[in-house]
């Protein structure tokens, strides 16, 4: 049995902030997860959109992102992209002391069958489900089409 | 009236008649074969709804299959083919259009068994773009289907055939008009005074004008699937003018009007002027005007045909204009030379040699621009042999090689050519011209004149005809006595005959879409793809649209690459590997072996450089050709193809 301890997410934080955490009874310190840089580029149509974020694990235990859900999309799939080979991913690892990066041209989320077309400035709530850690709910801002972080 | 002149003139006329008949027969067969097979199929009309619905299961066999499009479509007899689980056709043929030709339906045979049925359809939408696709539906329950589509039958209706013939005549008349004009203007100015040459140019002009008008009228029924009677529908013509091909036809007509002025000046004031200075001035004007009109006419093709779509259009359109002009100068000039040689018009050695030089430049231009266009249209060696377009192109290349060999023969004759032995004085040729004009003008001309009429005009006409016949006979004798000219005449005749065929093949080529074969592939139905666990297909397509920031890679993933529903992702990256924003990406799938497709994929732009569709329906297993079109600016776009195996 694992004891779980939820870290409170900074509820009123900006989109880029989120919290998560967990711990286990083993000798390692628990996975300390933090979601940052999340955004959804405004899609052309209401049928699908991409989603990106970075999950940082400052704890001592590996964590695994198993799924993402949202009331806004009928289904959300995870895709890995390596050397142009795009695959539906069952899960993504968030190694201890490392991070998982979902970004343009690389790993990403596909949000299918959206309720409606999200507009820049709105926020979409995504729930990230982990193995070995409690789920994290992130308010994700919709950015204008063509938005690229740091550009 | 059995005058010795008419007697001796007859064999020559008969011989020419036979040659002409042979050529016509050959042309007819060719037109039937190539135009018949190359029915342009499919377009931008979107398939909105099908009955029965795509992939749906119905309990009882339906009486018909109906397709509803977003706009009017043109159907031919084989537009909708319904195939049973055993691959046999179960439709009764001849689809019919209803509701403003937006709905097409084909009846099914009765007593259909349970199983999966495949519907392959194709049509031409109002904007002349082809649309095609395929889907399956089930009766009772789904089953395995071994669909091997039957051989496509030729057809396309009388309107389609007439349209093809109109296009051919336009090409040929353009070649004649430009080629003979150049021949007379540059190589043989004296020839512009001779009536047969003038008739050649005037005839070409009239043929081109008539063909263009006819195409304009046929454009409506051709694009909308109407009947021949619709050609007279003014509203249809007005609608056709709003489309790009219609506008091009209209510009062609206007340019032809300008061309009429050019011809009038060339045969009128220019040809008759003696003063060298005045001639020089006029020559400049004619030269510039002629180049503008001819270039303009050529661009009415370049702007709407294959050169205007696909990759590097900013290079290919001017090159296409060059290609057309070089073709016209060479082939039209050949016909002019042939006419001069046949009529014994005593063409000077220098004129022939001058044409020989111009012809050589034209051939080099033709081959160079032709090679570029071939590369651009076909792209790969595989496509050259595996697609109908490529095969047709091979036929054309073979014919052109033959043509160039004949041209080389002609050049040898030209090099050995002596000065014309019998200089037919201008006076004689004027008589000749006058006689034929009169002969044409008189309805009763050609009858046995003796005693019928005492009118002076009649007698003068007879006299003129006799003189003409005499002149002709002498000219023929003179012409046959000249070995070199006879040899040249034969090789030029052969050249012209091959050129007629080349032009027909080209006409077919311009109405054939790469990948949509006019020739049935013998490998059809022999799909040997082993059934393995579904494996997504990843394809990397480097592209270069030629514009600024036109280079990059399109990474395409098709998952799971099986029949049924697939997910497709396209990631456009710049040469550094970063996602690149482009205005448009299109993907379509074609199963050439079974004549299915192109099935367009509705892509949704997910993010910068990322386009996707979660609902790519591929009805049958096989090696499909995936065409990815990337547009990087308003004008720069390219289509790259790759085959993908669907299990």
Q: Please tell me if residue A105 touches chain B, with a CB cutoff of 8 Å.
A: yes
Going by pLDDT thresholds of 50, 70 and 90, the confidence category of residue A143 is very high
**Distance to chain A for B553, nearest Cα, Å:** 9
Residue B79 CA to residue B69 CA, distance in Å, equals 13
- Ranges of chain B with pLDDT below 70: 1-46, 71-78, 98-101, 123-132, 145-157, 223-227, 243, 306-311, 379-380, 383, 386-387, 418-457, 475-481, 511-535
pLDDT band at A12 (very low <50, low <70, confident <90, very high): very low
Local confidence band at A140 (pLDDT 50, 70, 90 cut-offs) = very high
A48 at the B interface (CB within 8 A)? yes
Q: Can you give the three-state secondary structure of B309-374, one letter per residue?
A: CCCCHHHHHHHHHHHHHHHHHHHHHHHHHHHHHHCCCCCCHHHHHHHHHHHHHHHHHHHHHHHHHH
Q: Provide the pLDDT for residue B100.
A: 56
Binary contact (A44, B553; C-beta < 8 A): no
A12 touches chain B (CB under 8 A): no
pLDDT on residue B162:
86
d(CA B295, CA B318): 9
Q: How far apart are CA B484 and CA B579, in angstroms?
A: 67
Residue B17: CB partners within 8 Å, gap ≥ 6? none
Mean pLDDT of A33-38: 93
Looking at per-residue confidence, does B373 or A139 come out higher? A139
Within 8 A of B577 by CB-CB distance, chain A residues are: 105
The C-alpha of B133 sits at a distance from chain A's nearest C-alpha, in angstroms, of 22
Q: What is the pLDDT of residue B172?
A: 92
- In the prediction, which pLDDT does B57 show? 79
Q: Across the interface, do B606 and A79 touch by the CB < 8 Å criterion?
A: no
Give chain A's radius of gyration (CA, Å): 15
φ and ψ at B142, to 5 degrees?
-70, 150
Residue B456 has what pLDDT? Answer: 67
Asked whether the predicted pLDDT for residue A21 surpasses 60, the reply is: no
pLDDT digits (tens, 9 = 90+) for B407-435: 888 888 888 876 554 444 444 444 444 44
Among chain A residues, CA nearest to B559: A87
- Residue A137 is predicted with a pLDDT of 94
Please answer yes or no on whether B609 and A104 come within 8 Å at the CB atom: yes
Nearest to B555 among A41, A84, A148 (CB): A84
C-beta atoms of A79 and B569 within 8 A: yes
Quote the pLDDT of residue B286.
85
Complex prediction ipTM: 0.74
Q: What is the pLDDT of residue A4?
A: 44
Are the CB atoms for B626 and B539 separated by under 8 Å?
Answer: yes
A50 and chain B in contact, CB less than 8 A:
yes
Residues 51-80 of A with CB under 8 A from B: 79
A96 near B CB under 8 A? no
| pTM > 0.80 | no
Sign of the C-alpha dihedral computed for residues B245, B251, B254 and B255 taken in this order: negative
CA-wise closest residue to B596 among B76, B35, B53, B83: B83
| B82 vs B149: CA distance, rounded Å | 9
What is the pLDDT, as a whole number, of residue B296?
93
Q: What is the pLDDT of residue B564?
A: 78
Mean pLDDT of A111-138: 90
Question: By the 8 A CB rule, do B599 and B132 touch?
Answer: yes
pLDDT confidence of residue A135: 92
């Amino acid at each position: 049995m694992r004891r779980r301890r939820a870290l409170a997410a900074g509820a009123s934080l900006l989109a880029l902030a989120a919290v998560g955490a967990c711990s286990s009874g083993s000798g390692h310190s628990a996975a300390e997860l933090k979601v940052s840089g999340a955004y959804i580029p405004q899609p052309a149509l209401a049928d699908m959109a991409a989603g990106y974020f970075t999950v940082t694990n400052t704890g001592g235990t590996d964590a695994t992102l198993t799924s993402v859900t949202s009331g806004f999309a009928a289904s959300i799939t995870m895709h890995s992209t390596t050397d142009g080979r795009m695959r539906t991913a069952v899960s993504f690892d968030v190694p201890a002391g490392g991070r998982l990066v979902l970004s343009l041209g690389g790993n990403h989320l596909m949000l299918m069958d959206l309720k409606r077309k999200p507009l820049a400035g709105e926020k979409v709530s995504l729930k990230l489900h982990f193995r070995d850690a409690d789920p994290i709910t992130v308010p994700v801002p919709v950015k204008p089409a063509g938005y690229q972080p740091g550009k | 009236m059995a005058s010795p002149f008419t007697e001796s003139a007859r064999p020559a006329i008969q011989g020419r008649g036979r040659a002409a008949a042979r050529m016509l027969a050959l042309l007819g067969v060719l037109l039937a074969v190539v135009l018949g097979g190359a029915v342009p199929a499919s377009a931008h009309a979107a398939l909105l709804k099908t009955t029965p619905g795509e992939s749906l299961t119905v309990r009882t066999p339906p009486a018909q299959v109906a397709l509803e499009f977003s706009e009017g479509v043109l159907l031919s007899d084989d537009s909708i083919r319904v195939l049973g689980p055993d691959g046999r056709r179960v439709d009764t043929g001849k689809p019919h259009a209803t509701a403003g030709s937006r709905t097409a339906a084909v009846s099914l045979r009765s007593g259909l068994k349970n199983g999966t049925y495949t519907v392959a359809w194709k049509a031409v939408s109002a904007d002349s773009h082809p649309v095609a696709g395929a889907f399956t539906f089930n009766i009772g329950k789904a089953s395995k289907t071994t669909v091997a589509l039957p051989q496509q039958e030729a057809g396309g209706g009388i309107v389609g055939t007439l349209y093809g013939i109109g296009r051919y005549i336009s090409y040929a008349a353009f070649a004649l008009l430009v080629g003979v004009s150049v021949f007379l203007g540059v190589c043989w100015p004296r020839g512009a005074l001779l009536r047969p040459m003038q008739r050649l140019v005037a005839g070409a002009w009239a043929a081109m004008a008539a063909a263009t008008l006819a195409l304009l009228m046929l454009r409506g029924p051709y694009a909308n699937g109407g009947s021949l009677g619709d050609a007279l529908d003014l509203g249809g013509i007005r609608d056709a003018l709003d489309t790009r091909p219609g506008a091009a036809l209209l510009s062609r007509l206007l340019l032809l009007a300008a061309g009429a002025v050019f011809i009038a000046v060339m045969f009128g004031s220019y040809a008759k002027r003696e003063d060298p200075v005045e001639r020089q001035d006029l020559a400049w004007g004619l030269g510039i005007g002629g180049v503008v009109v001819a270039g303009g006419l050529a661009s009415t093709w370049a702007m709407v045909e294959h050169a205007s779509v696909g990759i590097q259009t900013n290079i290919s359109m001017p090159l296409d204009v060059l290609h057309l002009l070089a073709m016209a100068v060479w082939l039209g000039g050949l016909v002019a030379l042939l006419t001069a040689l046949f009529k014994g018009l005593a063409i000077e050695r220098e004129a022939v040699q001058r044409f020989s030089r111009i012809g050589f430049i034209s051939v080099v231009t033709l081959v160079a621009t032709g090679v570029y266009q071939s590369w651009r249209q076909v792209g790969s060696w595989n496509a050259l042999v595996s697609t109908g377009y490529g095969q047709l192109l091979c036929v054309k290349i073979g014919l052109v090689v033959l043509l160039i060999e004949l041209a080389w023969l002609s050049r040898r004759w030209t090099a050995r050519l002596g000065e014309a032995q019998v200089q037919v004085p201008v006076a004689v040729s004027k008589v000749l011209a006058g006689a034929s004009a009169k002969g044409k003008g008189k309805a009763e001309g050609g009858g046995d004149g003796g005693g019928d009429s005492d009118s002076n005009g009649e007698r003068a006409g007879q006299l003129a005809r006799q003189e003409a016949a005499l002149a002709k006979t002498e000219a023929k004798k003179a012409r046959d006595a000249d070995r070199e000219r006879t040899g040249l005449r034969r090789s030029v005749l052969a050249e012209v005959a091959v050129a007629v065929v080349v032009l027909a093949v080209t006409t077919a080529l311009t109405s054939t879409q790469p990948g949509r074969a006019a020739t049935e592939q013998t490998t059809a139905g022999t799909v040997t793809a082993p059934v393995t666990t579904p494996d997504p297909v990843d394809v990397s397509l480097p592209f270069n649209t030629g514009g600024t920031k036109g280079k990059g890679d399109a990474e395409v993933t098709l998952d799971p690459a099986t029949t049924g529903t697939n997910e497709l992702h396209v990631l456009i990256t710049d040469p550094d590997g970063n996602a690149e924003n482009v205005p448009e990406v299109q993907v379509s799938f074609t199963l050439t072996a079974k004549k299915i497709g192109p099935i367009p994929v509705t892509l949704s732009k997910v993010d910068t450089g990322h386009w996707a569709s979660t609902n790519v329906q591929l009805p049958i297993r096989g090696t499909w050709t995936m065409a990815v079109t990337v547009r990087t600016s308003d004008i720069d776009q390219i289509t790259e193809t790759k085959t993908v195996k669907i299990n």
